[in-house]
């Protein structure tokens, strides 16, 4: 009976030693070590370039068109609306010759070149009010030219 108790005690103590959380040196990575290891070298992990950065910037800042539409919520012909547009495109007035006619703006960014605030606001409003240009439908394919009857096969 004593031998059975000794064997049981040895089994229980070896099981307790096997459950020790501290790994033997060099056998396993230390607890809290996030990098997977291959032997004693860290496993090289390749991540796509710019993957996280693209998600963060897209979610953080709305598009220019969305920002301009948000400015339309502000009462028209007010300083606040002009300041909203100017925050998107900071004004950079272009020096013009006296009597010279200003070229019409081709894009909303060109409005920032106008010196007069009223002109600049009217220019921005013109671009912000326009709906997105509708795509032109693709040209329909031309029907094939009338084909001539096929010649009878020679026998």
The pTM for the full model equals 0.48
pLDDT value of residue 91 = 92
Nearest to 71 by CA among 118, 129, 120: 129
Per-10-residue mean pLDDT for the chain, 155 residues long? 68 58 51 73 77 61 89 93 94 80 85 91 86 48 56 60
Is residue 98 within 8 Å of 121, Cβ to Cβ? Answer: no
Distance CA 106, CA 119 (A): 15
Residue appearing with tokens 């032997």? 39
Distance CA 35, CA 44 (A): 9
Distance CA 53, CA 57 (A): 6
Which backbone phi and psi does 50 adopt, to 5 degrees? 75, 10
* H/E stretch holding 41: strand 41-42
CB atoms closer than 10 angstroms to residue 110: 16
pLDDT value of residue 60 = 75
Distance CA 120, CA 86 (A): 9
């Amino acid at each position: 009976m004593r031998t059975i108790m000794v064997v049981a005690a040895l089994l229980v103590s070896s099981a307790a030693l096997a459950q020790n959380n501290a790994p033997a040196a060099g056998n396993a990575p230390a607890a809290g070590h996030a990098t997977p290891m291959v032997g004693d070298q860290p496993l090289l992990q390749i991540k796509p370039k710019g993957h996280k950065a693209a998600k963060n910037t897209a979610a953080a800042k709305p598009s220019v068109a969305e920002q301009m539409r948000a400015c339309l919520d502000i009462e028209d012909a007010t300083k606040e609306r002009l300041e909203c547009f100017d925050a998107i495109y900071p004004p950079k007035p272009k020096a013009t010759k006296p009597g010279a006619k200003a070229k019409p703006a081709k894009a909303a960014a060109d409005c920032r070149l106008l010196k007069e605030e009223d002109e600049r606001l009217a220019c921005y409003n013109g671009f912000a009010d326009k709906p997105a240009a509708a795509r032109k439908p693709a040209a329909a394919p031309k029907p094939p030219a009338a084909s001539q009857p096929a010649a009878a096969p020679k026998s």
